[in-house]
Structure 1
Amino acid sequence: MSEPRTTANDRKQSAADADGNTGPTRAPIGTPPPGPRGLPLVDSTLAFARKPLEFLSSMREYGDVARYEAFGREFVVVSDPGLVEEVVVARDDEFWRGEFEHEFGDLLDVEGLFFAEGERWRRQRLLLQNAFTPARIRSYADDMVVEAVRLVENWSDGEVVDIREAMSTLTLRALTRSLFDLELGDGRADRVRRWVHAMGAYSDSEFFGARAVLPTWIPSRAEREYRRATADVEALVEELVAERRGSEADGDDLLSLLATGEYPDGSRPTVEEITDQLQLFLLAGHETTATALTYACWLLAGTEDVWSRLEREVDAVCGDRDPTFADLSDLAVTEAVGREAMRLYPSLPFLQREPHEETVLAGYRIGPGTTVQLNMYGIHRDERWWADPDAFWPGRWVADGEDAEGDERSVLADPDDRPEYAFFPFGGGSRHCIGMRFAMTELQLSLATMVRRVDLERVTESIDPTPKISLDSGPVEMRVRKR
């Protein structure tokens, strides 16, 4: 076996360590990462499957780079922001998304930007980024508010709602309008809704549930329902692409952009490519924002002073009208609430990468085929970077605000003292989430719209998040009080 190659980053860190600078602990070059031994035959599979977040947190006992085996493969957990930045920025060309994540794409039988690599990814990204410019997102903002108003006004005073289901409905409606220019409730849009729900049920059972360790030949009702729903959506997209290409109108929705757009070489996306892109945006775009909104509402309902401050901000900025895109820069507390919810409960609690060939990270040898897990959940709750890390405290994002005055935590709230990748809910580097601006816009506008109309009280007193497609909260019941 050849010697694992060192990089300029390893040599630079060795020099920094010699000067007494702090940073992640560096092992002698080529050392295998430490980690738990696991059980015979199954290694750490059961420990991870039972309590994945607790298991990843326990890996900190072994340091910022720790190894375990599960599901028949090797994993290395990275729990330091500087090392995360190495992987996704400084050494991005050494890593790809890896077999573990591509198995998810294979399971769902979809391709697209999320799973693409190399030149194929670059040309897709170039085409799709035109849908997420500030001007495009401004054109989607009114629809986001309209859908939030519709949702909240259908609630009754005193009604108990499952906020997770409600936020999923809200974000799916907003996405269906911005991606397809269809309103949910339209017969064609209902096909989209059925497909999204079928995909969630199928991926949860096959990839994250008990069936993940069962033979693939065992029949699955969830798979049959997903395949039927997928065929319906594929037929819908083919129909809509033909409509868009036959029309001279320039639509603002993503489907119109894809149907009429061209790659740099002048070729146009095929219907199959458009279908794959839209399916992935529907899944990731509605699920992750719904997750963030769910946790934000639940956390707010348990923190009366933060809710009161949020109300005061929205009243001061919006008065007796609904929020608009132009208000976003003034809704600082609203943004802070969203950021703090994503810090505590990131929609994707870890990112995964795989080295193209054997390499070294912080001195530890990382072999090809190893899945590198960037421990977002653990880093977001690490006391080295966050004061009172398990507390919901939006004031850390607006440290000069009224709720930071006299709070001893505010001395650690200065982002200049925190590594950039101590907070990375949208990933980072060249492959950061293309829909980040869209998601933050929807998060702020939806929260501000709801706060104008209702108060929420917790019925579900505790939550036990579980990684699935996103960080699933389980049912979250809340009582509505109309303002």
Structure 2
Amino acid sequence: MTGGDTSTGPDGETDELPPGPDGLPVLGNTHQYLNQPMGFFDELAGYGDVVHCEFPRIDAVAVFHPEQIGEVLLEQGTYERWNFDELKQLLDYEVAPRGLTFTRGEKWKQQRHFLQPMFGLDRLEGFSSAMVSATERLIEGWDDGEEVVINEEFSGLTLSILTNSLFDFDLGEHRQVITEAADELQAMANMSGLSAVEMLLPSWVPTHGNRRYERAMDAFDETVDALIEARRATPGEYDDFLTMMLETEDDHEYTMTDAEVHDHLITFLIAGHETTAMALTFTWLLLATHPDQRDRVSREATAVLDGPPTANDLADLTVTEHVAKEAMRLYPPAGMLFREAVKETTLGGYRVPEGTKLLLPQFTVHTDDRWFDAPEQFRPERFTDARSDGRPEFAYFPFGGGPHQCIGMHFAMMELKHIIPMLARRVEFELLSSPQPETNMWLTLQPSEDVRMRVHKQ
């Protein structure tokens, strides 16, 4: 077990590192993680709430208690987002380095301040029609009795909503390019078995996976550049997220460079649809195996909605909201958050040296029986106000928290509260694949196999 002897300084500070499992020379705990990535964190949780682990060139601490998770997420001067510099140098991989995901410090503050108004409630209300139209097209495109791969269907749906609402364009022939890039990024983040071995090779090694990845990302870069140039050619015709980024010359406080616009577009096109698609996939997987809860959603939709949902209806769709939140508790789309200690500190009574990476595994914390009764069971009612009030704030954090809380949180919840009731009123899904699929911690939390369902229209 790692962790040194306790030594307390004059101010009560400790020199003891957190406990944790023994590792191998150089490799640390890599072999344990690769053997079972998600199960590895269950093992770590057995050592306590603040646990040390090691990987090549990386010292890490996994955090399992809401109090310490809150410290990590809220104390911006002590912890920053880990931007994976060590891995990028080792693997020679870099995706959208100037986008909101990987910038830090003052540059990140400028970007966040500039982009946040696009996700204000006044803007979100205008996206309702795009969400309804895309969902109606999806439902109408299904034949009664058709077998569908629901994770792929929802990925296409959320990508369509994103591009039509935030960017006001129809992807057309560009759709496949973006989908392939998203698939390759997911595969690149797959840290299990042979995929992990290949992933650990630098991008210049001509493996089949590396060549496929480079082709997909080159095509994605070209597509994004084409979309930007097309918008530049039509000044004054649009009032959307992309136009706002391109018209920064009139903003004297902050001007966004062409490279930043390019990287933001990549970031939102990937992250903005994959996480919501996974939330929808697991929500309907759970509803298909819990018909009583599915009936509750359907009854609420009938009682609240006269037609398609509008922004004014969403506050009354409480059952739908509880179902979506419970699905994201059991299957948090992001899976895990990452931070870095930018100065030496203490956490949970243990010393955390500068440069330590902090791992916040939502999929483990969300199923801790200290915070949730019968945590493996699907119980949406646990998110009623009365039951939520007594729960620690960061026992549940699918969108993160603090300054870096997901900028698209309200947009994503709005999508879920439009799509779920529309489907519940018009479609019954018959599950054809496993009711409890294994999951993989990739770029997002993914089912290990496609989720197949048969569509029965109502």
Do they fold alike, i.e. is TM over 0.5?
Answer: yes
Per-residue Cα deviation, 1:322-364 (whole angstroms, up to 9, x for no partner): 2122211111111111100111111122211111122211111
* Residues paired across the two proteins, number: 447
* Superposed displacement of residue 158, structure 1: 2.1
* Residue identity in the other structure for 2:326: E
Task: State the one-letter code of the partner of 1:463.
Answer: P
Q: Aligned-pair RMSD on alpha carbons?
A: 2.8
Asked if 1:415 corresponds to 2:399, the answer is no
* Residue 162 of structure 2: aligned partner: 175
Aligned amino acid, residue 398 of structure 1 = T
Gapped regions of structure 2 (runs ≥ 5): 1-5
1:265-311 Cα shifts (integer Å, max 9, x gaps): 44532222111001011111111101111100000111111001110
- Write the distance in 1 (CA, Å) between the matches of 2:371 and 2:352: 26
Question: Residue 101 of structure 1: CA displacement?
Answer: 6.7
> Does the 8 Å CA contact 1:30/1:363 hold for their aligned counterparts?
no
1: CA distance, partners of 2:195 / 2:325: 26
SS of residue matched to 1:108: coil
Instruction: Give 1:223 shift.
Output: 3.6
| Amino acid paired to 2:207 | S
Determine if contact 1:182/1:189 at 8 Å carries over to the other structure.
no
CA contact (8 A) 2:62 2:361 kept: yes
Amino acid at match of 2:266: Q
Label 1:212 to 1:198 Cα distance change in 2 as closer, same or farther (>3 A).
Answer: closer
CA distance in 1, matches of 2:173, 2:362: 39
Question: Does the Cα contact within 8 Å between 1:251 and 1:257 map onto a contact in 2?
Answer: no
Q: Which residue does the alignment assign to 2:3?
A: none
Residue 54 of structure 1: CA displacement?
Answer: 1.2
Q: 1:69 maps to what in 2?
A: 54
TM-score between both structures, scaled by the size of structure 2: 0.90
Write the distance in 1 (CA, Å) between the matches of 2:202 and 2:214. Answer: 19
Could you tell which deviates more after superposition, 214-223 or 307-316?
Answer: 214-223
Q: 1:325 to 1:121 in 2, by over 3 A?
A: same
Deviation at 1:239, TM superposition (A): 4.1
Query: What's the offset of the Cα at 1:72?
Result: 4.2
Given candidates 74, 94, 97, the residue that maps to 2:78 is 94
Tell me how far 1:198 sits from its aligned partner.
Answer: 3.9
Mapped pair 1:362 → 2:348: yes
| Pair 1:118 & 2:91 matched | no
For residues 69 and 396 of structure 1, the distance between their equivalents in structure 2, rounded to whole angstroms, comes to: 36
| Aligned equivalent of 1:467 | 441
* CA deviation vs aligned residue, 1:84-139 (integer Å, no higher than 9, x gap): 111111x2211122253774696233221111111100111111112111122122
Pair 1:157-2:144 in alignment: yes
The C-alpha deviation readout for 1:189-230, integer Å capped at 9, x for no partner, is: 544344334443444489973323345542134443444444
Does the CA-based 8 Å contact 1:81-1:419 persist in structure 2? Answer: yes
**What's the counterpart of residue 20 of structure 1?**
none
The 1-side partners of 2:120 and 2:80 are apart by: 26
SS of match in other structure, 1:62: coil
1:35–1:310: structure 2 CA closer, same or farther, 3 Å change rule? Answer: same
Does residue 1:59 correspond to 2:39, yes or no?
no
Residues 212/245 of structure 1: CA separation in 2 closer, same or farther (3 Å cut): closer
Consecutive unaligned residues of structure 1, counting only runs of 5 or more, are 15-27, 400-412
Counterpart amino acid of residue 124 in structure 1: Q
Separation of aligned partners in 2, 1:41 and 1:32: 19
Corresponding residue for residue 24 of structure 1: none
Residues 24-72 of structure 1: per-residue CA shift (max 9 Å, x gap)? xxxx722111111134553321221222221101212111011122344
The residue type paired with residue 134 of structure 1 is: L
Match of 1:480 in 2: 455
Instruction: Tell me the secondary structure at the aligned position of residue 417 of structure 1.
Output: coil
**Whole-angstrom CA distance in 2 between matches of 1:104 and 1:143:** 37
Q: Is the 8 A contact 2:186 2:444 kept in 1?
A: no
Task: Quote how far apart the aligned CAs of 1:163 are.
Answer: 1.0
Equivalent residue, structure 1, for 2:339? 353
Which residue of the partner structure matches residue 438 of structure 1? 411
Moved more, 143-152 or 92-101: 92-101
Aligned partner letter, 1:327: D
In structure 2, relative to structure 1, the CA distance for the partners of 1:63 and 1:362 (3 Å cut) is same
Q: Which residue in the other structure is 1:305 paired with?
A: 292
Q: Distance in 2 between matches of 1:180 and 1:226?
A: 25
SS of 2:115 mapped into structure 1: helix
Q: 416-425 or 92-101: which moved more?
A: 92-101
Return the offset for 1:147: 1.1
